[in-house]
Amino acid sequence: MSKENKSRYALLGMLSLAPMSGYDLKKATDESIGYFWQENYAQIYPMLKQLTKEGLTTSHVEEQEGKPDRHVYTLTDKGREELQRWLSEPADYQVYRSELLLKLFFGKQTSLPVSAEHIRQYRERQVHLLHAIEGMEADFPERWNENPNAPYWLITMSYGRHNAQASIAWCDETLAALEKLSEQPETTTPNKEKTAYGN
């Protein structure tokens, strides 16, 4: 059985906020759910055509002077029902994949400075993300407090903030652990030595 494409529900959800063109959807997605759910144009435009074919959205053309026409998509009643049906289902468990953790797991095969640099780069990204989220939270009351969706948006931002803070703390802990390793005498492990993870 093929895995269901959840991009359809991300787009239905965004269109529940307002009618949008494909360009609008990409921009709105990047500025909202883009912190935890990415969509690109190659996914958006074919999916919009599919949703319209299924009767979940309708589209109309808006002419623009000196610019290409805008194809604006609107959620239908059927589309809103489909979105609500999906929202009521249990969320699928997402198998977590992390290239960073994969590289750290095999970190004995490279040098400590290489592993430490991976951590520093990751920490820098998390600090940048944390500042971005804190900035959005600071501006939130003035921009969105009257919006009925606001409490739910704040919940997702809070999740991002907690995750970023925890990641930064983990980075600091890991850098300290790597520093301790660097102070220990270098040891080598024979290739054929048995370990807990194989022969």
- Asked if the model's pLDDT at residue 111 lies above 70, the reply is yes
Share of the chain above pLDDT 90, in %: 75
Rounded distance, CA 103 to CA 85, Å? 40
Rounded distance, CA 146 to CA 90, Å? 29
Rounded distance, CA 3 to CA 92, Å? 11
* Per-residue pLDDT tens over the stretch 83-105: 999 999 999 888 889 999 999 99
End-to-end distance of the chain based on CA atoms, in angstroms?
A: 36
- Full-model pTM: 0.80
* Per-residue pLDDT tens over the stretch 34-53: 989 999 999 999 999 999 99
Rounded distance, CA 199 to CA 191, Å? 10
For every residue of 152-199, which 3-state class applies, written as one string? HHHHHHHHHHHHHHHHHHHHHHHHHHHHHHHCCCCCCCCCCCCECCEC
The CA distances from residue 177 to 123, 134, 163, 180, 185, in Å, are 15, 29, 21, 5, 15
* Per-residue pLDDT tens over the stretch 159-169: 999 999 999 99
